[in-house]
Structures are given as structure tokens and as C-alpha cells.
Structure 1
């Protein structure tokens, strides 16, 4: 190949060999500058492209690295947070387990109180407290005084969760049973307290000196046998006379035989009578409480001296008051 220069153009000859035809190319003289310029521009464009691609690649890599680092930090923070939350949940679980054990002890105290209420109510019914309300052991978690720090395993946490769940489920059943028993015991206690309040167990006067008992005796006026329907209790004029049980005054008047008299109805067929009073301190229809002062001892009506004729009637039939007089203090309830 050789060049043949001319004024305005040059010829490019390609001689492939001795036996082949020569190939000529005529190129303008200006192509001598244009072709290298084009090649140079192509090379410059190529290197600029390589540079831009390399720069973009580095930027992309940096962006990806920063994104990865941010996600990694976020993930680490989330893992740390979850670990802290897990530790807090484990601590709360331990506290809950301890509180459940402490509640068991309180429940045992309430059971004892329920037993006391049953005794106070003097119920003859058998104790129907559920057998599963057995004596509870003390808390497995005592005072923390130290020890080696050993991380708990997931199996241990699972076992604690299961144990606490079973304990709380048992507590719910125990509480429901206890509430039923307490309600029944409270009802029995109220009933027993009401029965005690309406049962005439108090002495109607401070002195316990009997001048005449219940039953057949010689009449002090006629000397003939007669039925004495109550007790004659000795005393001084204007000694206090007390209601032997709570009830309602159904009679507060003067009677030729019994003088100034008070009759109190205590419901359930029980009535008490206070005769020969010097003064009546209550009115008919008035409610009185056990131990309340209702009159003053005297000798009115058919009487030979100061005393209180005291009667107890059951379904309007006089009965011996002696078995009822079991309480010495007038303020005993």
C-alpha cells in the first residue's frame, strides 16, 4: 500500500500481491485531517464513557454500601430492641409468677377466714369447700440474695409460662369456688346473727335471784295449786328491766292481773312478757333491740312484792324460760 499525493487529493493504493489487481482509493486532501480527528473523537468518547461508567459504578457501589450499612445498623438496633423487650417480658413473667404465688397465700388466708365465718355461723351443714382448695405451699421465689448469672433457655421460659398459666387457671377456679362458699357462709352468718338477736338468751334483770320457778306451785293468794307460766325474779323497785331479745312491742299496757306489762314479739312464734312493772318505757308498735332498757321493776297488779314476772311463749304456749337464760351481761348481743 502506498500514497500518491496530488494537489487536492491523494490516492491510496493497496497492492495485495504480484498476481492480483491493485486497488486504488482517491481521498480528498482534507480527509488527512478529518479521519484522525474522527478517530481521536471516538477515542475520547470511548474513554469518557469508560470514565463515566466507572464513576457511576463507584457511586452506585457507595450508595449500595451506605444503604446496606444503614439497613445493617437498623437491623442491629431492632435485634437489640427485641432482645431488651424479650428480657423485659421474661422479667415481667417472673414477677407475674411471684405475684401468683403471693396471691395463693392471700387466698389461703381468705379460706381460713371463710372457715372462721362458717364456725361463727354455727352451721351444721358439712363444709362444701372444694377439695382442690388444699393447703398452698409458700412461694417458690423467696428473697433474692445473690447467685451466679446464668441466662435462661427457651425451654425454661416455656416451662415457666406453662406453669404460670396453669397456676392462674387454677386460681380462677379457686376464687370462683371461694366466692360461692363465702356468699353461702355470709348468708349463714347473717342468719345465725339474726337468730341470736331474736332468741331471748339474756337475763331481763341484773339480779339472778328466783323467787318462784316455772310450773305447778301453790298460789300465794289462795294457797291452791296453780300453774305458774313464767319465772319470778327478785329485785328492788325501779330496777332496770331489759329486753331479752330484739323484736317488736305488741303490748304495753296495764292489766289487772299482771299490772303494767310489756309483750315483745320476736317472730318465728317466740314472744316474751315482762309483768308487774312499776313503769313502762316503750310504746306499742315500737321496735326494741336485745339488751335495751324497756321498763322499771315494780309490784303492780296481782303481786305480793317487788319482782319481775318473766314469760317466754312459743306459738302462744308458755314454756320454761330457764333454758334460754344463758347470757349474764345485758349488753351481750
Structure 2
């Protein structure tokens, strides 16, 4: 290739070789300046583009780095927060486990109280629930006195959660069973208290001098054998007479044979009678409590001296009161 200088134009010739046609290009003379200028502009544009691309890339990289750093710090803060929350949850779990152990200890005390209630109610039926509750293991006291700080593993935490959950489930079952048992014991205790209140176990007077017992004896007026349906208790005129059990006064009147007499019905077929009184302090229809003052000892009716004729009837049949007289104090309930 060669080119020929002229005044107004340039001719470019391309001679490929022998026996081949020569190719000519004619360009204006000004192209000698234009083409390098265009090439220079292209090169400048290319380098400017490269510069701006590098600048943009650097800024983008810095922005991405700042964003990444911010996200990394946020993630680290979140991880730290989660770690703190996890540690707090573990601490709460340990406290819950210890509280469960303490509650088990309290439950054992309640079981002992339930046993006392059963003894008080004098229940003869074996308590199946208490036998079930006796299988509850005794709690182990915790004593935090120091030691090395060893981080817990996830397996240990999982095991603690499982043990605590199982212990609480067992504890809930034990509490429900104990509540049922306590309700039954309370009902038995109330029934036992009621039975004790209506059972004539007190001495009707403070003195225990027996002048005539229950059964066949020689009548003090006729000297003939007769059935004595109660006990004659010796005492001074005006001595206090007490109700031997709680009940309702069904008779408070004068009788030619028994004089001033009081009969108290205690339900369950049990009645008590207080005869030859000098004075009656209650009226028919009144309710009396065990140990309540109801009259004064006397010698009214068919009597040879001041004394109290005391009777106990079961289903309107007189029975020996002696086995019932087991308490020496009028205020004992």
C-alpha cells in the first residue's frame, strides 16, 4: 500500500501482488487531520470512560463495603442479643427447675398434712391416692457456692428442658390427685367432727360418783328386782348438768316418775335423758352444743336424794351409757 500526495486530495493505493488489481482510495487532504483527530477523540473518550467506570466501580465497591459492614455489625448485634436472650432463657429455665423442686418439697409437706387429716378423721379405708403420691421423689437442695464457669451445651439444655417438662407434668398430676384426696379427706374430717359432736362421750356432771349402774337392781322403794335403764350419778343439789353431745331438745317437762327431765335427740337414732333435775335451763325445740349447761342437779320426781339419772337410748331402746363416758372435761368437744 502507498499513498500519493496531491494538492487537494490523497490517494491510497493497495497493491496486493502480481497479477492482481490495484485498489485505490482517494481522500480529501483534510482527512490527514480529521482521522488522527477522530482517533484521538476516540482514545480520549475511551480513557475517560475507563476512568469514570473505575471511579464508579470504586464508589460502588465502597458503598457495598459500607453496606456490608453495617449489615455485619447489625448481624453481630442481633447475634449478641440472641445470645443474651438465650442465656436469660437458660437462667429462667434453671430457676423454673429449682422452683419445681421446691414445689415438690411443699407438696410433700401437704401430703403429710393430708395424712394427719386422715388420722384425725379416723378413716379405716386405705388411701390409694397417697400411695400413688408416695412415689414422688424427694427434691434435692441446691447450693450455689461457686466453681468453674463451664458453658452448657445444647444437649444439656435440651435434657434440662425435657426433665423439667416431665417433672412439671408429673407435678400437675400429683397436685390434681392431692386436691381430690384433700377434698375427700376434708369431707371425712367434717363427717368425723359431726359424729364426734353428736356422740355422747362427755360426763354430764363434774363428779363421777356412780351410785347405781345400768341393768337389773333392787328397787329403792319396793325392794323388788327392777330394770334400771340408766346411771345414777351422785352430786350436790344445784350442781351443773351438761349436754353430753350436740343435738335438739325434744322434751323439757315434768314427769311424776322422773321429775324435771330433759331429752336431747342427737340424730342417727341416739338420744340422751337427764332426769330428776332441780331446774331446767333449756326449752323444747332448742339446739344445744356438746358441753352446754342445760340444767341443775336435783331430786324431783321418784327420788330418794339429790342425784342425776342419766340415760342413753339407741333407736328408742335404753343402752348402757358407761362405754360412751370417755371424757372427763365438760368443755372437751
Would the TM-score normalized by the shorter structure come out above 0.5?
yes
Give deviations 1:8-33, integer Å, cap 9, x for gaps: 54545556678766654433344344
Q: How far does residue 273 in structure 1 lie from its aligned partner after superposition?
A: 0.7
The correspondence of residues 69-148 of structure 1 with structure 2, limited to 5 A, is 69-129=69-129, 131-134=131-134, 138-148=138-148
Deviates more, 1:114-123 or 1:10-19: 10-19
Instruction: Quickly say closer, same or farther: Cα 1:17–1:215, change in 2 above 3 A.
Output: closer
Supply the distance in 1 between the matched residues of 2:325 and 2:18 (Cα, whole angstroms).
161
Q: Secondary structure at the match of 2:252?
A: strand
Supply the distance in 1 between the matched residues of 2:211 and 2:108 (Cα, whole angstroms).
54
Q: How far does residue 236 in structure 1 lie from its aligned partner after superposition?
A: 2.1
Supply the distance in 2 between the matched residues of 1:12 and 1:193 (Cα, whole angstroms).
136
Supply the distance in 1 between the matched residues of 2:305 and 2:21 (Cα, whole angstroms).
179
Supply the distance in 1 between the matched residues of 2:29 and 2:249 (Cα, whole angstroms).
150
Deviates more, 1:301-310 or 1:19-28: 19-28
Q: Secondary structure at the match of 1:275?
A: strand
Give deviations 1:232-256, integer Å, cap 9, x for gaps: 1222222211110001111111222
Supply the distance in 2 between the matched residues of 1:137 and 1:144 (Cα, whole angstroms).
22
Supply the distance in 1 between the matched residues of 2:315 and 2:131 (Cα, whole angstroms).
43
2:48 is aligned to 48
Deviates more, 1:266-275 or 1:246-255: 246-255
Number of residue pairs matched? 333
Instruction: Quickly say closer, same or farther: Cα 1:27–1:193, change in 2 above 3 A.
Output: same
Q: Is the 8 A contact 1:200 1:244 kept in 2?
A: yes
Supply the distance in 1 between the matched residues of 2:280 and 2:119 (Cα, whole angstroms).
39
Which sections of structure 2, spanning at least 5 residues, go unmatched? none
Instruction: Quickly say closer, same or farther: Cα 1:311–1:132, change in 2 above 3 A.
Output: closer
Supply the distance in 2 between the matched residues of 1:141 and 1:317 (Cα, whole angstroms).
62
Q: How far does residue 201 in structure 1 lie from its aligned partner after superposition?
A: 0.4
Q: Is the 8 A contact 2:276 2:308 kept in 1?
A: yes
Q: How far does residue 62 in structure 1 lie from its aligned partner after superposition?
A: 1.5
Supply the distance in 1 between the matched residues of 2:271 and 2:132 (Cα, whole angstroms).
46
Give deviations 1:260-299, integer Å, cap 9, x for gaps: 2111100010000111212221121111110111112222
Supply the distance in 2 between the matched residues of 1:274 and 1:86 (Cα, whole angstroms).
78
Q: Is the 8 A contact 1:128 1:181 kept in 2?
A: no
Deviates more, 1:176-185 or 1:28-37: 28-37
Give deviations 1:40-72, integer Å, cap 9, x for gaps: 322222112111211221122112212222222
Q: How far does residue 164 in structure 1 lie from its aligned partner after superposition?
A: 2.2
Q: How far does residue 6 in structure 1 lie from its aligned partner after superposition?
A: 5.3
Supply the distance in 2 between the matched residues of 1:18 and 1:159 (Cα, whole angstroms).
97
Instruction: Quickly say closer, same or farther: Cα 1:87–1:291, change in 2 above 3 A.
Output: same
Deviates more, 1:307-316 or 1:60-69: 60-69
The TM-score with structure 2 as length reference comes to 0.91
CA RMSD of superposed structures (Å): 2.3
Supply the distance in 2 between the matched residues of 1:237 and 1:28 (Cα, whole angstroms).
166
Supply the distance in 2 between the matched residues of 1:149 and 1:211 (Cα, whole angstroms).
85
Q: How far does residue 109 in structure 1 lie from its aligned partner after superposition?
A: 1.1
Instruction: Quickly say closer, same or farther: Cα 1:51–1:154, change in 2 above 3 A.
Output: same
Q: How far does residue 134 in structure 1 lie from its aligned partner after superposition?
A: 2.9
Supply the distance in 2 between the matched residues of 1:324 and 1:300 (Cα, whole angstroms).
26
Q: How far does residue 136 in structure 1 lie from its aligned partner after superposition?
A: 5.4
2:326 is aligned to 326
Which sections of structure 1, spanning at least 5 residues, go unmatched? none
Q: Is the 8 A contact 1:252 1:283 kept in 2?
A: yes
Supply the distance in 2 between the matched residues of 1:323 and 1:19 (Cα, whole angstroms).
159
Q: Is the 8 A contact 1:262 1:280 kept in 2?
A: yes
Q: Is the 8 A contact 1:108 1:135 kept in 2?
A: no
Supply the distance in 1 between the matched residues of 2:184 and 2:10 (Cα, whole angstroms).
129
Give deviations 1:83-112, integer Å, cap 9, x for gaps: 222222222222222122212211111111
Give deviations 1:157-202, integer Å, cap 9, x for gaps: 2322222222222222322332232222222211111110000000
